Each structure stands twice: as structure tokens, then as C-alpha cells.
Structure 1
Amino acid sequence: MSGFQPSWLALREPADRRARDAGLMHKAAEWLAKSGSVHVVVDLGCGAGSTLAAMDPILRAAGCNAHWRLVDDDPALLALAAERAARLGADAKTCRADLSDAAGAAIGNARLVTASALFDLASRDFVVALADAIAGAGAALYAGLSYDGSTTFQPSHPLDGIVVAGFNRHQLRPKGLGTGPSLGPGAARMLAKEMQARGYGVELAESPWLLGPDDRALAVEHVTGMAEAVGELAVLDPAELDAWKTFRLETAGDGRAMVGHLDLLALPGSADD
């Protein structure tokens, strides 16, 4: 399960990097360091290696020597992730696997499981099975950048609310990661609930994209994707949707947007800490 183009991942990575909550990444590293200096870290849906790039320096600074297992089903992305790991001097091996079938097996002896922009694509049964696998391994979980359903624009447009609501509804369509509807904007809170039910201490932190004039290319792709998704639902007259899209593209160069995400850290045996 992947389906993301390298060009899209590269386009969004600067916004992702700015958005990630540094506090949760440092807490993950501190927790890992308490139980030794060498650990297996499994990154699910690794893409081109953005999570490794963000977290490996923090783990090293905390005294952790991470052996990364980079898991994805796209060989082209795995090759990019391996190249990035080599450039950064990270100890990493790639693992090609269909996450919808192999997430539990891929976890293996992990001490920390990571994923970014993944769980809003997943169904509830996938999250439940993965939570079981993580708890069974006694591993911690860092899940970054799950879309939370909040999107605002400046300047505003009268149709913003309808378009965002339609986009959020579209996000619930099955994406192939598990069976049934995707969790979409509810993913991070569902994941938090499942980990808490297994005795984990869970923290959520806001990690919004804050897009400005320097992010015009990303803003254009984001607006285009939203319009395409809403168009599939036929909740707006096509002419109205096209007018909204045109306005948004024309203002992308000097406007601003906030796209909400949530980061999650779940640590085992910390529910009452």
C-alpha cells in the first residue's frame, strides 16, 4: 500500500518537517535511551524516508543507535529511502511489504514503531490489528502528521466550509489499508483510544501545515486535490466548485492556509504516569 508519487512526497516534506511536534520526537528518543543504546526502529509506509530524516538525528543525540527497518510496498520509494539513509549515515534496511497484510509481521522485534501521514488512510480493523501487534512487541509508537479535518484559508471564500466538509467526507473512502472505510480525520484519536486501551500512555500534539507564499507549489497541489475529491462527490455545482478552485489558485501566491494534523506518541506501561 503506497500509491504516492516521489514528487508529491518531496513537495510536502518541507511543510511536514516544520509541522512535526519536536517535543514528542524528543520524548520518544528519551524513552528509547532509557532502555539501552541499540534498538530496532520500524518505519511503516516509509515513503522516501522522511521520518528517518526527521528522527534519526534526534535519536542519535539522545544516545540511541537505531537500526531502521524501512517498510513500504513501492520499490522505487524504498530505493529513495535507502539512498537517503546512506547519505545521512543511518543504519537502515528496506523491507518490501503490503502493509495491509504484513504490518504485524514487519514489526517483529521493534522497540519503536514510526509512521507519518499513514493512519488517516487506514481502516479501524487495521488500526486495531496494528495496536495489538505493537503492544505484543512492547514497542512504543510515534505516528506523525495524521490529518485532523481542520483546514482554513486566508483570504476566505464563501464555499470554503462546504469544500472542506466534502473533502473530509471523501477522506473516509476506503484506501486499501485494511477493510472498510478509512478513518480519515478521526484517525489519530482512534489510534490514541486503541493504544490507551492496551495500557499505553498517549500524548497528542498539533502539527499543522502553515502554508504561506513560499509554499505556493504545495498550496496549488493541495487545492487541486481537494477540488478533485469534492468533485467526485458531486456535493457542489461544478461551476461553483470551479470558481472556488480558481479563486484559491489565484490567491495561492500571496494567501495563507492552515491544514491541521496531529502527532501521537504512545509509550508502553505509562497509562498512569
Structure 2
Amino acid sequence: MSGFAAEWLALREPADRQARDASLLRRAADWLTEGGGRATVLDLGCGSGSTLAALQPLLASASTVWRLLDDDPVLLAFAMERAEQLGAEAETRLADLSDVAAIPLEGVRLATASALFDLASRDFIEAIAERLTAASVGLYAALNYDGSTVFSPSHPLDGIVLAGFNRHQLRPKGLGSGASLGPAAARALARALEARGYAVTIAESPWRLASEDAALARAHVEGMADAVGELDVIDAEELEAWRQMRIDSAAGGRTIVGHLDILALPD
């Protein structure tokens, strides 16, 4: 599983890097460093360190330490190696993200996450919002899937496949109890923090996949088709025809996959 996860993260990182809203990323960096002195960033579900790679270049002159948190030791090793390459001071913590009470927020000014909260249930989101508020910690959460995907050229089954995929996204993913919020998670997180007095900004951060992103576009299609196939809501032959058409057109077509970035700062 670790090897697969590392390959998937490496495949999507160029598209993620292009998709991040530059204004929110800059504001997150400014807020992190505006008080001067030493600041700690807690990267939730750090993976191979994509958030660190995006934010650290904006902190080059600041005294910042990264606390990299994940439940996968292989990914933590990748993230630490990346921190060293970027000259960032960092430490790793192997932890179960679902245990919100145990998330190490001591001394943290900003928590970050990428492509994480769409895996979370409502109770996880409420719990993390409560903990961030109690500690007056800001949050920069990027690349949360918003439920939209637009293909070009189109196919008659695009809509029903997307609806099935979004339904599959609601299955429990282990971050909290019960169903995941999937495409609704980003706005639920924003509302939870706004209700606790945070100033929240949401920005669109879609993948815009073209010919140079064909491998990622194909992997996205495979993931959608596999998920919908588990639901058994589309004739298997029709779903396979959709999959094959999408695979064949990945190099020459375009795909836009919607995501949302969130910056939430305590008042």
C-alpha cells in the first residue's frame, strides 16, 4: 500500500502544484511568519511532502519548523528527505490521524493539509475544528475534491459515472465515524470554522489536465470506473466502453477536476 500511495502522490503532484490557488498559499505563508520569531507548521497527513514543497519556498527567510504527521512510515521518510533537500527544519510523527485528541498541536501556529478533508466524516471535521479553535491554530487545507469533473470530448455516460463516483466517495474512509463527506467536506469544514469565529476564504483549485497530464488523466478515469463498478449501477459492458473511450482520449482530450482550497485564520 505504501508503494502504491507514493506512486499515486508522485503522479498527481505536478497537477496539484499547478492547481493550488497562489493567493491563498501566499497569504498562508504571510500569516505564518507575520509575528516574527520561530513558527511551527503541522502538516496533517503529510504524504510525501507536497504541501511542504509548495509552502517552504515562500518561507526561506523565516524561522520555521515543520512537524510532519502521517500514519505511513514510508511516506514520512519521503517527506523528511524532501525537507532536507529544501533546507527545511523538520521532524516526523507517526500517528493515527483519526485520533483527533492526540494530534500534536502544541506550539503550532498553522496546520496544513492537502487532499485530506474529502476523506473525513462530519464528526472528524467538527472535532478538528474544535481543537484548532481551542489552540488558536490557523488552517491551510488545499485540494479538497468538490465533486465536479468535466471531460472533453464528452461521452453520454459522463454524468451518470460522475454521480456514481461521488456517491462512492461517501463511503467511510477511516477519518471519523460514519460516512465520509466527500465533495461536501470542504464547505462543511469552512462552515465549522466560521461558526467558531475564524475568517475563512475558499478558492477554486481545479486540476486542468491536458496531453502532458495523460497518465494522471488515465489514472483518474480508472479510479472512477473502478469505484462505479463496485456500486453495480451501470451495465458492466457500458461502463467498460466508457472507460476505454476515456483512456483512449486521455492524450488528446482535456479533463477538469474541481478542488477547493481553504484558508481559515483565527480572529
TM range (shorter): over 0.9
> 1: CA distance between counterparts of 2:36 and 2:102?
24
Corresponding residue for residue 41 of structure 1: 41
Aligned to 1:255: 253
Aligned mates of 1:79, 1:31 — CA distance in 2: 28
Task: Work out whether residues 100 and 127 of structure 2, in 8 Å CA contact, stay in contact via their aligned partners in 1.
Answer: no
> Who is 1:11 aligned against?
11
* Alignment counterpart, residue 120 of structure 2, candidates 102, 119, 122: 122
Q: Distance in 2 between matches of 1:127 and 1:211?
A: 30
Matching residue of 1:77:
75
- Which residues of structure 1 form unaligned runs of 5+? none
* TM-score normalised by structure 1 residue count: 0.95
What's the RMSD between the two structures over aligned residues? 1.4
1:22 matched to 2:22? The reply is yes
Give, in angstroms, the shift of residue 102 of structure 1: 4.4
How far residue 209 of structure 1 moved from its aligned partner, in angstroms, is 0.2
Partners of 2:218 and 2:101 in 1: CA distance: 33
Separation in 2 of the partners of 1:104 and 1:144?
22
Q: TM-score, normalised by structure 2?
A: 0.97
> CA–CA distance in 1 between the matches of 2:102 and 2:198?
18
> Is the alpha carbon distance of 1:263 and 1:119 closer, same or farther for their aligned partners in structure 2, counting shifts above 3 Å?
same
How many aligned residue pairs are there? 267
Alpha-carbon displacement from aligned partner over 1:175-221 (angstroms, at most 9, x marks no partner):
00110000100011000000001100000000000000001110111
Residue 92 of structure 2 aligns to a residue whose secondary structure is strand
Q: 1:145: how far off?
A: 0.1
1:110 to 92, 108, 111: 108
Is the contact made by 2:40 and 2:107 (CA closer than 8 Å) also made in structure 1?
yes
Q: Which residue of 2 aligns with 1:164?
A: 162
- The 8 Å contact of residues 29 and 64 in structure 1, kept in 2 or not, is answered as no
Distance 2:115 2:67 in 1: 18
Q: 2:209: which partner in 1?
A: 211
Moved over 4 A (4+): none
**Per the alignment, do residues 140 and 21 of structure 1 end up closer, same or farther by CA in structure 2, a change over 3 Å counting?**
same
1:16 corresponds to which letter in structure 2? D
**TM-aligned CA deviation for residue 4 of structure 1:** 5.9
Query: Where does residue 143 of structure 1 map in the other structure?
Result: 141
Per-residue deviation, residues 202-259 of structure 1 (Å, max 9, x unmatched): 0000000000000111011100000000000111000110010010001011000000
Residue 87 of structure 1 aligns to which amino acid in structure 2?
Q
**Offset from partner CA, 1:13-63 (integer Å, 9 cap, x none):** 000000000100111122222222310100000000000000011123xx4
Matched to 2:110, the amino acid is: L
Q: Tell me the SS of whatever aligns to 2:173.
A: coil
* Equivalences for residues 211-250 of structure 1 within 5 A: 211-250=209-248
Q: Which amino acid aligns with 1:13?
A: E
Q: Is the 8 A contact 2:119 2:181 kept in 1?
A: yes
Instruction: Say which SS state the counterpart of residue 127 (structure 2) adopts.
Output: helix
Name the residue aligned to 1:134: 132
Secondary structure of the 1:129 match is helix
Match of 1:5, SS state, is helix
Query: 2:59 aligned with 1:59, yes or no?
Result: yes
Q: Which residue of 1 aligns with 2:87?
A: 89
Q: CA deviation at 1:162?
A: 0.3
Q: CA deviation at 1:109?
A: 1.9
Q: Equivalent pairs: percent with the same residue?
A: 63
Are 1:104 and 1:133, in contact at CA under 8 Å, matched by a contact in 2? no
1:103 positional shift: 6.0
Instruction: Report the 3-state secondary structure (helix = DSSP H, G, I; strand = E; otherwise coil) of the residue aligned with 2:260.
Output: strand
Q: Aligned with 2:233: secondary structure?
A: coil
